[in-house]
C-alpha cells in the first residue's frame, strides 16, 4: 500500500488526507502546532470549491455550519447600497452559490472527516530531516521517529518550511501592498446580506454567519506590512471603521478590546512548476498563496486535494503524479492569484473604484466554473 506523509493540518493537509484515504492510500498528518486550531475568523467557500467538497464527502456538513449568500450588497460608506453582485452557482440549482462560516466550523468539519477516514494526526510534530532514496523518502520527525514514505505532501502553508527545504530557489511570498483587519461579532439586527462597503483606501466587509454571528474584514491600503504596536492597534482599527455608517457603528460598538482584533499583512505567491523535488510535493498555500479578494485560497487548496486523490487512485508513479498535478492546477491557481492581486492593486489606486473590477471578477468566476 502506498504510504504518504502530509506535513500541515490546515485545509490543504486535511483535504489531502481525506482524498488520499478515499483513494486507498495510507496517509498520516504531522501538524507543527500542538494546539490544532485554524488561523483567522471567518471564511467563505465559492461554488466551485463547494463542488470539490462534494467529492470529499464534506458538502452536507458544510451546509449545516455555513450561511448561504446569493448576493453581495456593494455599498457607499454611509451604507447606501449602489449595486448587488449575484454569486455564481456551478452546482445544483438549489445549492448555495457561496457559503460563509466560522473558520472553526470548517476546521471541525474537516477534523471530523479526517477522523472518520482513520488518518492518524500527530500534533506538535514536524519534519526534522529528509533522506531521499530512489523509490521513496526516509523522514525523521521532530519526535525522534524515523519512517519511510512513498512521498510527502507539503501542505504547511504560505511560509512553508518544506518548500524552503526541498525547493530553496522557489519564490517566497511577497507583500501585496494591503493589510487586513478582522474580527468576530454578532450581526446587528437587520443585517441579513453580505455587505461590502467601499470607503476610499479602506473596504469593509460585513459577513453574516449562522446563529447570528458576523465576520468583519477590513482591507486597508494605507499601511505597510509591519504590525502596529499593540497599544495603538485598537485605536487605529476604530479610526478606520469610523468612516463607515450603515450597520458598521453597531458592530464597532462590540469591539472594545484589542484581543478581538486580528491584523495581518497580505502576501501572494505562485510557485512555477515543478511543485515537487525528490519525493516531496507542494500543495495549497505552500504552492500558491493568494490575497483574499475573490475568497478562493482554501478553495484552491481543497481542489488541489481532490486532484491529488484522483491521480493517486490511478496508481501512477510519484514523479508522474506530481507533474500531472502541477500541470492540472497551475493555470487555475495563477488565475486566482493574479486576479486577486490585480483587484488589490486597483484598490490601492487613488480615486473611485476601478470600473474593470466587476468584469474581471465575473470573467474569473466564469473560468473557474470549468471542471478542475
Ligand X SMILES: Cc1cc2nc3c(=O)[nH]c(=O)nc-3n(C[C@H](O)[C@H](O)[C@H](O)COP(=O)(O)OP(=O)(O)OC[C@H]3O[C@@H](n4cnc5c(N)ncnc54)[C@H](O)[C@@H]3O)c2cc1C
**Alpha carbon separation from 274 to 27, 277, 283 (Å, rounded):** 22, 8, 11
Closest distance of CB 172 from ligand X, Å: 14
Closest distance of CB 87 from ligand X, Å: 13
Q: Which of 38, 188 has the CB closer to ligand X?
A: 38
Q: Which of 49, 199 has the CB closer to ligand X?
A: 49
Q: Which of 187, 269 has the CB closer to ligand X?
A: 269
Closest distance of CB 281 from ligand X, Å: 13
Closest distance of CB 121 from ligand X, Å: 11
Q: Which of 7, 255 has the CB closer to ligand X?
A: 7
Whether cis (ω within 30° of 0) applies to the bond prior to 274 is yes
Closest distance of CB 50 from ligand X, Å: 10
* Cell numbers placing 355: 470600473
Q: Which of 46, 75 has the CB closer to ligand X?
A: 46
CA angle 267, 224, 73 (to 5 degrees): 65
Closest distance of CB 38 from ligand X, Å: 7
DSSP letters along 328-371, please? HHHHHHHHHHHHHHHHHHHHHSSSSPPTHHHHHHHHHHHHHTS-
Contact set with ligand X (CB under 6 A): 7-13, 30-33, 40, 43-45, 126, 155-157, 161, 180, 284-285, 292, 295-299, 301
CA angle 175, 179, 184 (to 5 degrees): 140
CA distance 64 to 220: 32
Overall size of the chain counted in residues = 372
Closest distance of CB 134 from ligand X, Å: 25
- Measured from each CB, the residue nearest to ligand X is 10
Q: Which of 174, 253 has the CB closer to ligand X?
A: 174
Closest distance of CB 29 from ligand X, Å: 8
Q: E strands, the chain, where?
A: 3-7, 26-31, 42-46, 67-68, 71-75, 81-86, 98-102, 121-123, 127-132, 137-141, 146-149, 151-154, 174-186, 194-199, 202-208, 213-220, 262-270, 276-277, 280-282, 288-289
Q: Which of 116, 264 has the CB closer to ligand X?
A: 264
DSSP letters along 133-151, please? -SS-EEEEETTS-EEEESE
Q: Which of 9, 208 has the CB closer to ligand X?
A: 9
Give, as one character, the DSSP assignment of residue 54. H
Q: E strands, 150-261, where?
A: 151-154, 174-186, 194-199, 202-208, 213-220
Task: Please count the helices (runs of H) and the strands (runs of E) in the chain.
Answer: 10, 20
> Is residue 164 within 8 Å of 40, Cβ to Cβ?
no
* Cell numbers placing 113: 472527516
Closest distance of CB 315 from ligand X, Å: 26
Q: Which of 115, 190 has the CB closer to ligand X?
A: 115
Amino acid at each position: 500500500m502506498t504510504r504518504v506523509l502530509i506535513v500541515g493540518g490546515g485545509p490543504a493537509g486535511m483535504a489531502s488526507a481525506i482524498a488520499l484515504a478515499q483513494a486507498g492510500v495510507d496517509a498520516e498528518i504531522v501538524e507543527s502546532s500542538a494546539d490544532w486550531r485554524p488561523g483567522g475568523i471567518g471564511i467563505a467557500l465559492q461554488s466551485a470549491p463547494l463542488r470539490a467538497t462534494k467529492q470529499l464527502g464534506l458538502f452536507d456538513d458544510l451546509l449545516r455550519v455555513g450561511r448561504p449568500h446569493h448576493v453581495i450588497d456593494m455599498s457607499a460608506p454611509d451604507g447606501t447600497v449602489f449595486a448587488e453582485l449575484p454569486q455564481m452557482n456551478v452546482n445544483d440549482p438549489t445549492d448555495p452559490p457561496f457559503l460563509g462560516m466560522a473558520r472553526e466550523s470548517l476546521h471541525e468539519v474537516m477534523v471530523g472527516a479526517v477522523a472518520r477516514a482513520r488518518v492518524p494526526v500527530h500534533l506538535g510534530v514536524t519534519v526534522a530531516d529528509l533522506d531521499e532514496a530512489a523509490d521513496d523518502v526516509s523522514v525523521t520527525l521532530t519526535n525522534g521517529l524515523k519512517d519511510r514514505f512513498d512521498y510527502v505532501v507539503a501542505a504547511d502553508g504560505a511560509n512553508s518550511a518544506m518548500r524552503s527545504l526541498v525547493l530553496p530557489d522557489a519564490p517566497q511570498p511577497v507583500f501585496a501592498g494591503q493589510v487586513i483587519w478582522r474580527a468576530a461579532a454578532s450581526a446587528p439586527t437587520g443585517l441579513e446580506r453580505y455587505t461590502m462597503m467601499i470607503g476610499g483606501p479602506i473596504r469593509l466587509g460585513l459577513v453574516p454567519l449562522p446563529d447570528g454571528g458576523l465576520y468583519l474584514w477590513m482591507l486597508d491600503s494605507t499601511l505597510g506590512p509591519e504590525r502596529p504596536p499593540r497599544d495603538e492597534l485598537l485605536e487605529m482599527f476604530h479610526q478606520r471603521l469610523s468612516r463607515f455608517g450603515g450597520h458598521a457603528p453597531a458592530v464597532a460598538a462590540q469591539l472594545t478590546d484589542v484581543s478581538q482584533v486580528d491584523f495581518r499583512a497580505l502576501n501572494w505567491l505562485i510557485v512555477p512548476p515543478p511543485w515537487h523535488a525528490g519525493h516531496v510535493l507542494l500543495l495549497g498555500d505552500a504552492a500558491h498563496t493568494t490575497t483574499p479578494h475573490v475568497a478562493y485560497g482554501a478553495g484552491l487548496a481543497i481542489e488541489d486535494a481532490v486532484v491529488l486523490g484522483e491521480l493517486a487512485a490511478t496508481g501512477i508513479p510519484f514523479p508522474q503524479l506530481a507533474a500531472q498535478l502541477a500541470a492540472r492546477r497551475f493555470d487555475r491557481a495563477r488565475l486566482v492569484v493574479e486576479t486577486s492581486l490585480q483587484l488589490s492593486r486597483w484598490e490601492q489606486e487613488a480615486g473611485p473604484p476601478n470600473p474593470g473590477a466587476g468584469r474581471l471578477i465575473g470573467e474569473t468566476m466564469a473560468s473557474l466554473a470549468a471542471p478542475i
